[in-house]
Amino acid sequence: MSTTNPAATPAPTAASPSPEAAPRKRRPPRRVQVTRVQTLSPLMRRITLQGAELEGFEVADPACYMKLIFPEPGQTEPDRPLPDGPRAKSMRTYTPLAVRADVHEVDVDFVLHGDGPASTWAAQAQPGQVLYLMGPGPGYKVALDAPAHFLIGDDSALPAFETILAALPATAQARVLIEVVDAAEERPLHSAAKVDAHWTARGSDNTQAGQALEAALRKAGAPAPGTRIYLACEAAAMRRIRKLLIEELGVERSLVVGRGYWKLGTVNHPDHDYGED
C-alpha cells in the first residue's frame, strides 16, 4: 500500500507533462561458437555454445528465452547485428539450459523438425561454427509453495520443462504430459522433485499438433486443486487446451500460464504469445 499523501502531490499540468517511460535498450548481441553437439534422441540435439562475450550472461528464472541469430544462405557466420538496427531475418527463440558462467558456456536444445533456418543449421552443427546470441528475456516464476505442478506441452517445450523441473525442491510433486513424434523421443527427465511423466505420440504430421496432447489430458482429468500449470506447445493447440483446462476441467484461470512456442504455417512466431486473447 502506498504511503504517499495525494494532497501533497501536484497534479500534472499542461506546463509540466508527465514524463514518458524511456525505451528499453537492447542488450548487445554476443558472438558464440559451438563447442559440443550431443544427440539426445533422433529429433533432439543439445548444442553447447561458448564465448568470452557470454561474460555477465545470467538466467534468473526457469523457462526464460534468448534469441539466436543464424547464418543466411551462403554465409559461414552471421553478420553482427547492430544493437538498435533492424531485426535479423534468421533469428529464432530458444530456452537457455545449463549456464556455466565460469567457462562462458550455455546449452541449447534444438528440435529437428525439418524446416526453417534453425532446424536446418542444428542438423549439421559442428564445433567451431558461429552464432550470435541476444538476451536472456524473462522466464517463469515458479511457485515453490504450490501443492503440485503440472507441465503440459509438446517437444518444443521440453527444454523449458527441464529448467522448471530443475528448479523444484525435493518436496515438490510434478506431473508432466508431453507430446512427441513417437516413442523414440522419450527420455529421462531429471529433478529433485517427485516426477510423474507421461509421453504421447502425435506421429510425423505436424498438422495434428496438440491433438494427442488434448486427448491425453481429457483422459487424465482435472488436476488437484491449487496445482500450478505451465502449458506450452503449438499456438492454436495451446488455446484449445487452455480453454479445456479452464472451462471443462474447472481449473482457476490464474493457475494456468500459457505459451505458444510455435504456430502452424508461421515461419517465425513471436515469443510473447500467451493465449490470453
pLDDT in tens, 57-112: 999 999 999 999 999 988 999 999 887 778 788 899 999 999 999 999 999 999 99
In a domain, 9, yes or no: no
Q: How far apart are CA 189 and CA 87, in angstroms?
A: 35
If you average pLDDT over every residue of the chain, what do you get?
89
CATH of the domain at 44: 2.40.30.10
Question: What's the CA gap between 232 and 259, in Å, rounded?
Answer: 5
Number of domains in the chain: 2
Grid coordinates given for 227: 496445482
User: Does 158 lie in the same domain as 89?
Assistant: no
Residue 275 confidence class, pLDDT cut points 50, 70, 90: confident
pLDDT at 24 over 80: no
Q: Is the bond leading into 159 cis (omega within 30 degrees of zero)?
A: no
pTM here?
A: 0.87
Same domain flag for 113 and 202: no
Residue that finishes a domain, picked among 108, 134, 160: 134
Pair (130, 158) in one structural domain: no
Q: How far apart are CA 160 and CA 231, in angstroms?
A: 10
Q: Minimum mean pLDDT among 10-19, 138-147, 259-268: which range?
A: 10-19
CA distances from 118 to 3, 35, 245 (A): 51, 17, 32
Are β-strands 228-234 and 66-69 bridged in parallel, bridged antiparallel, or unpaired?
Answer: unpaired
Residue 178: helix, strand or coil by DSSP? strand
Query: Is 162 found in the same domain as 66?
Result: no
Q: Tell me, yes or no, whether 248 lies in a domain.
A: yes
- For 98, counting Cβ atoms within 10 Å of its Cβ (0-12 exposed, 13-18 middle, 19+ buried), the class is middle
Q: Is residue 7 part of a domain?
A: no
Whether residue 250 is contained in a domain is answered as yes
Which candidate, 57, 245, 63, places its Cα nearest to that of 142? 63
Q: Is the pLDDT of residue 277 over 90?
A: no
pLDDT, residue 39, reads: 97
CATH number at residue 170: 3.40.50.80
39 with 116, same domain? yes
CA distance 149 to 140: 13
In a shared domain, residues 245 and 222: yes
At residue 83, the 3 state secondary structure works out as coil
Are 80 and 44 found together in one domain?
A: yes
Choose the final residue of a domain: 105, 134, 163.
134
Domain interval for residue 158: 149-262
Distance CA 219, CA 200 (A): 12
Query: Is there a single domain that holds both residue 115 and residue 158?
Result: no
pLDDT at residue number 25: 60
Residues 158, 249, single domain; the answer is yes
| Distance set, CA 36 to CA 78, 91, 127, 137 (Å) | 19, 21, 6, 24
Q: Are residues 252 and 212 in the same domain?
A: yes
Domain's final residue, options 68, 103, 134: 134
In a domain, 158, yes or no: yes
Structural contact between residues 174 and 162, judged by C-beta atoms closer than 8 angstroms:
no
